[in-house]
Amino acid sequence: MSDLSTRYLGLNLKSPLVASASPLCESVDNIKKLEDHQLAAVVLPSLFEEQLELESMAVDADLGRGADSFPESASFFPDLKTYNLGPDGYLELIRHAKESVRIPVIASLNGVSNGGWLQYAKLMEEAGADAIELNIYSIATDPAIGAAELEQGYIDLLRYLKHSIRIPVAVKLSPFLSAPANMAVRFDEARADAIVLFNRFYQPDFDIEQLEITPSLALSRPEELLLRLHWTAILYGHVRADLGITGGVHSAQDVIKCILAGARVAFMTSALLRNGVQHAAHVLSELNRWLDEHEYSSVQQMCGSMSHGAVPDPSAFERGNYMKVLSSYSLRANAFND
């Protein structure tokens, strides 16, 4: 048996397989099941900036400080008071989960602006969360705001958070950045303890009969992992922060690729939703088998060994690969058959 343990966010984990934020981690019973099925840690579903701002407005109203109006945009959201248990229920979940399981419990905040809602991180810390994952899910719809301004906003957000709490902070990043390597280094300088690549964006679909925009959530496919492997392999060795991969991790082979690229942890949600939580034990036993077969004594030993800096020919990660891949495609004869 190889040593599957890893260190992430300063926490000792039994293996690199972690349940990422989703309704799977929304109840203590589920979290216990995830622990029983060998997930090494859990990330709770996110509380959203919009929920927390709404909560603080309600408190202001109760205190007679006046909360003129809730933001108009609030009507687009699900019931903000109860979504993902709501702010109070969420703290209760952290406390109860910490009493019930031994694996680390990572709380999650989702937002983009540097405001009062971030104070909630302190309450999460006091409730016992082992770390916080900050999900920066931003959609840059305002043409007046450029990339530099937005990106500085993300860095300021992290700095504020790091200043207000002592537990480690992971930043879950968007894949839609012009210069992910530069952003990762800046997050590193702002003392991110981990960088998680990448958020999945849930683009709405078009209903062409009703002419309406419809929300859609499709579970991930393993092909989505490639983008994450690519950037993890590039970042490995350039940042002090731990790297984690979320998006497209479905099998033991996927977990192995994540570690080889340089990730300390591989997060899983879609595969657990699709196959049940027992899938995790299967993935870990396959991981063990692979390590034995390839004579690795530990997961840590293999971490980053296929990163950009470690492979003999890193050009596959760069622009030259683009032409090489295109030119390697040969038209199949039947493409022209009627």
Instruction: Give the residues lining the site for ligand FMN (CB under 6 A).
Output: 20-23, 45-46, 108, 110, 135, 172, 200, 219-220, 246-249, 267-270
Closest CA to 52 of 123, 140, 129: 123
Task: Give the nearest distance from C-beta 48 to ligand FMN in angstroms.
Answer: 8
Task: Give the nearest distance from C-beta 196 to ligand FMN in angstroms.
Answer: 8
Task: Give the nearest distance from C-beta 309 to ligand FMN in angstroms.
Answer: 26
Nearer to ligand FMN, 7 or 221 (CB): 221
Nearer to ligand FMN, 2 or 104 (CB): 104
Residues facing 173 on adjacent strands: 197
Tally the residues of the chain: 338
Task: Give the nearest distance from C-beta 43 to ligand FMN in angstroms.
Answer: 7
Range list of β-strands (E), 205-298: 205-207, 212-214, 242-245, 265-268
Nearer to ligand FMN, 2 or 263 (CB): 263
**Cα torsion at 227, 228, 231, 235 (round to 10°)?**
180
Closest CA to 158 of 134, 122, 194, 174: 134
Task: Give the nearest distance from C-beta 294 to ligand FMN in angstroms.
Answer: 24
Closest CA to 46 of 11, 78, 14: 78
CB burial readout 212-235, b (16+ within 10 A) else e? eeeeeeeebebebbeebbbbbbbb
